[in-house]
Structure 1
């Protein structure tokens, strides 16, 4: 038996933070909430007018509101975050046989979007503050294995072109994006931001607040059912580049040229546009988004105050130059490796038995069978952090 497990005390602090007088068990990780929104009214409009598919006023309205909220000049709404990321990578030039640098700690869709293009994930380690792609590791990896050849960057070990750098703003916390952007510019490798979890997260750049996804050429968002804003499924590309935005909209709409009756397609495109009925749900959610983020900020504060009692447990927080949406509030176990795994499994098992559905971080992407042979650098921080992180119930309505 491990001394000082304190599992029950930990679960009691979680229950105290989320006010069980208002919520019954089980407590999920992150649930959608349509109460006190215009969801039913907007969905009824779609049904009554018959505009439920990939055209209609709510798609335009949703894209406009995304631009207004994030500060992007352009937003293109698509069916899910994976499709958005695959399209974004295609737009910056990722092609079959190329490599894309990404962190190993992310949801599997990040690597899958690369694979869907026939390209190859190339894993580089994270840093332990934001849990995002580590600029120092990216620089060292490129200095070690990359060559500039005819305006391309080639991996000298594999002979493949390195076509993009793909940082992830994990759990809604902005990564060290400015440093990564400098590396991107130094090597002339496009940077695409996976901001699937970061709607409502910002970072300062020279005292200017910039939304995640708008530092590189373009970024993507996700509106899956467990996100801070949901359209059921859904995703979006955001960019300040008019040319990229125009092509993204065209390719995601089967590359069909506008015409009253003729069907003429001038590229191999995708049928990726977000349906109107989903966009209506998004409009209803984004109208309430600022309030939701404020509730999540308060929930994070409550968790942080409760867990100050434990020296070896830490609620992660963003650095001072970041504003997080706190999508998933994360507990880090700062325990010795000798007891870490047994402690973590014990806490997760008791929590699930008690109806508090804590979640460990995803398995590292390079450990999954389809990515075990992908190129990678040393991944010491990711391997260590993957055993220490537990996501706490984070729905804004838990307060």
Structure 2
């Protein structure tokens, strides 16, 4: 009577790796800026995010200039400036140097493909990648909820209560938004700008996640390879040493590729992270001050997004440092004393390079990790209290 339902086959590591980057490519392709595509060329759709960024930047500069005498209104505008700065910087990088992103993707896939050749690594590689795709889904859900809230709350308030409430600051020059026509025209502007912001910011954050989560999988799989090397060293069948030499050479190659990947990631991202963290800090200070002084809905939304961004970036930066330390411990666990002298030298060189492994920095000024996160939160609290006292006087 009842059909037997077969167990759903879980996605392989290769499928999950592809999904991590495919999610990013889809978002960027929607706005014509798929920097992960090695064959990326400018197209008509590429003008959409460029025009959206120019409109947003022009309006924010105008509002910053016109509200400079009113500290509270100036603070209301600053979070918008924070996001516009992030967006323009990322867009400029994607348009001027798209190869930097596609090359990182290619280097990451090269390591993955090599590790995935070992059947014993496949389930190990899949676990962190699956978590990465789940986190991307959670981030997408957060951004979708925020997007729907910004778009539908003003329409719901107008439809139900007859109140014309605009959540976003952006306005059309010469348009009276208090009348129905002006309200709808301004809402049309918001509808035109938001998809670019949604795809751009979500894509940027998902890409950063996609570039770092595989490092977790790589180190875990390399640890498995080191365990296999130890088993070979203790196995009497491996007395000829061919398998040991082959396994050690493979580990040396994998470690070199991983170090090069992390170096490239640091070279491409240290300025990106500097701009990102700087914009987040200024945005958080201003949004918290605005929440204390006026009822601005966007201040609450901005606080949620900025807090999520800061947490994500610092956590992912800490992941690199943590996995590098784990790799050092795994290298120490290799039974080097069972290796011939010439092969033991290779292991010593690997250990030396691992101890000086690159970490992700904020403009080469500070290491991106949870210690930085703690310092930033303390600084934000101090500046908010200072500014709140100043505004009360």
Q: TM-score, normalised by structure 2?
A: 0.23
Bigger share in strand:
1
Higher helix proportion, which one? 2
Scaled by the length of structure 1, the TM-score of the pair is 0.23
